Amino acid sequence: MSVTMTKAEGITVFTMSSDPQSVLPPLCQILKGLCYSPVCCSLSQNLRRVQRNSQSVLGALHIMVGLLNIGLGVILLCSGGGSWWQMDETAFPLWIGGLIMLFGIVGILSEKYPSPCLVIINVILNLAGVAISIAAIVLYSINIANIGLWWMCDNSDYYSSRYRHTTTTTAPPVEKYMREKCLEGKELALMILRSVNALLIVLSALELCLVISSAVLGIKALRSSQKGEKEKMGDPELYKPLLEEVTSHPTA
């Protein structure tokens, strides 16, 4: 399928010749033609000039946030009480971190190879990342309320078996001391797990700012590129002669 583009004042017309032997429906052929058209896939110096190094910096921050999201999520999943059942079943910190890293990789590629198609894909992914970041904030907020190390210091079976045949049910001072130390350790572990979860919420909020910034920069780059192309083509009114050629001489 060949694609040709015709530009007029305020109008852009795409003309595509369909392939009758193709098994793909017409809509898929149109999308394929747009993706493989030189208009969409050709590198744009205007986009390179407008974006500069902004997308690389944002992409590196995306990758850093994604790696931290995966690492801290693994800590919560392996803690035995730092994650609620929904996090254990879906493991959403892992695939959310992977998506965040994907946003960063596409952002870096859109700057290294600044074609309109790749910049548009980067903008679409970052707009989807807004919803993903908000969902991550909500999920981590629910998780921080469900953190609890219920299995720690629960030695009721130990006490019932140890003092089943004794006349007194009072634990010795050593056992009380060990239980108090266990409860102190439990509180410390809960504080660490809640801090990790709070850090994940902060990282999700940071990711929300990053995806919004990256999407806005991509949209501005596309608009500036279109404006630059229009200025490069020039206004036809500027090429009109200032004075009409005199075809007749005045008579004396």
The pLDDT value given to residue 230: 55
Give the integer Cα–Cα distance in Å for 83 and 89: 10
pLDDT digits (tens, 9 = 90+) for 163-214: 444 444 555 788 777 878 888 888 888 888 889 999 999 999 999 999 999 9
235 lies in some domain: no
In a domain, 99, yes or no: yes
Instruction: Give Cα separations from 50 to 40, 117, 127, 132, 220 (angstroms).
Output: 17, 16, 20, 27, 8
**Structural tokens at position 10:** 């305020």
Structure-block tokens of residue 82: 């730092």
Average pLDDT over residues 46-52: 71
Asked if residue 62 belongs to a domain, the reply is: yes
Would residue 80 count as lying in a domain? yes
Distance CA 14, CA 30 (A): 10
pLDDT > 70? residue 239: no
What is the domain range of residue 108? 46-155+173-229
The reply to whether the predicted model has a pTM over 0.95 is no
Average pLDDT in the 138-156 region? 78
96 within domain boundaries: yes
The count of domains in the chain is 1
Quote the crossing angle between the two packed helices 92-112 and 173-233, to the nearest 10°.
30
